[in-house]
Chains A and B, each alone.
Chain A
Amino acid sequence: EIVMTQSPATLSVSPGERATLSCRASQSVSSNLAWYQQKPGQAPRLLIYGASTRATGIPARFSGSGSGTEFTLTISSLQSEDFAVYYCQQYNNWLLAFGQGTRLEIK
């Protein structure tokens, strides 16, 4: 099964600054990559699918890029509500896997 590796594990950023989160797949997943945000005690929320398409209602400050094995989630100007854990997730050949998550914390 494909293994997803996210980096860094924790990212400390000040409000208003840019955050860049990375996700690497152990083999190509084409553009079958989604990003989710999870806050404590809540189910994950879809941000990005198809590596770069924002989900309905997601602010434009969230953007995704990449294909194959290297992917990036960028949050252009962090708001207080953006501090959370972010997961990438791939889909390939009827199997799925999540990364271990990046915790985005206030600096």
Chain B
Amino acid sequence: QVQLVQSGAEVKKPGASVKVSCKASGYTFTSYAMHWVRQAPGQRLEWMGWINAGNGNTKYSQKFQGRVTITRDTSASTAYMELSSLRSEDTAVYYCARWAAVATIGAELYYFDYWGQGTLVTVSS
């Protein structure tokens, strides 16, 4: 069965960086894109960016451009999200999510079908 298992909670000081991992199993890692979504306490889901796990191409939300880097290690079936220059507003649960596609007549439809369990990142001095 498909599983996305994320690394454990982190506590960081302002200005530091954090790197969260997401290990995939139960499917061919390179056949699906992986996205990162975060959720601050009591707030909405916020899309950060994604990586094509096959070719390594990435795309980031304008809000995080320059601060976020998404990478992958195909040999380990693992995706990574690194966020730099952390500030208190970055305190959130960070999720990885698999991006699935289904072909229909005239279009491809996309959605998140599996999610990691979430990783709490706390930024505090």
Complex contacts, B35 vs chain A, CB 8 Å? 96
Q: Does B84 contact A (CB under 8 A)?
A: no
Question: What's the interface size class on B, roughly?
Answer: 20 to 34
The residue from B37, B46, B97, B109 contacting A31, defined by CB atoms under 8 A apart: B109
Query: CB-CB contacts of A51-90 with B at 8 A, as 1s and 0s?
Result: 0010100000000000000000000000000000001010
Tell me whether B113 and A98 are in contact (CB under 8 A): no
Say yes or no: is A32 at the interface (Cβ < 8 Å to chain B).
yes
User: Is B47 touching A97 in the complex (CB atoms < 8 A)?
Assistant: yes
Q: Separation in Å of the A75 CB from the closest CB of chain B?
A: 19
In the complex, whether B27 has a CB less than 8 A from a CB of chain A is no
Question: Which one of A32, A44, A98 lies within 8 Å of B46 (CB-CB)?
Answer: A98
Chain B residues positioned under 8 Å from A49 (CB to CB): 102, 109-111
Residues of A1-45 whose CB lies within 8 A of B: 1, 30-32, 34, 36, 38, 43-44
**Hey, which bits of chain A sit against chain B, CB under 8 A?**
1, 30-32, 34, 36, 38, 43-44, 46, 49-50, 53, 55, 87, 89, 91, 94-101
Q: Which residues of A contact B59 (CB under 8 A)?
A: 94-95
Q: Let me know if A100 and B44 touch, CB within 8 A.
A: yes
- Which chain B residues lie closer than 8 Å to A30 at the CB level? 107
Say yes or no: B45 contacts A32, CB within 8 Å. no
Once the chains bind, are A36 and B112 in contact (CB under 8 Å)?
A: yes
Select which of A1, A87, A91, A94 is within 8 A of B44 by beta carbon: A87
Known interface pairs A50-B111, A94-B59; 15 further A-B residue pairs with C-beta atoms within 8 A, sorted by A's residue number: A1-B62, A31-B107, A34-B110, A38-B45, A44-B115, A46-B112, A46-B113, A49-B109, A49-B111, A50-B109, A89-B45, A89-B47, A95-B47, A96-B50, A96-B61
CB neighbours of B50 from chain A (8 A): 96
Does B110 lie within 8 Å of A98, measured CB to CB?
no
CA distance A100 to B40 in the complex (A): 12
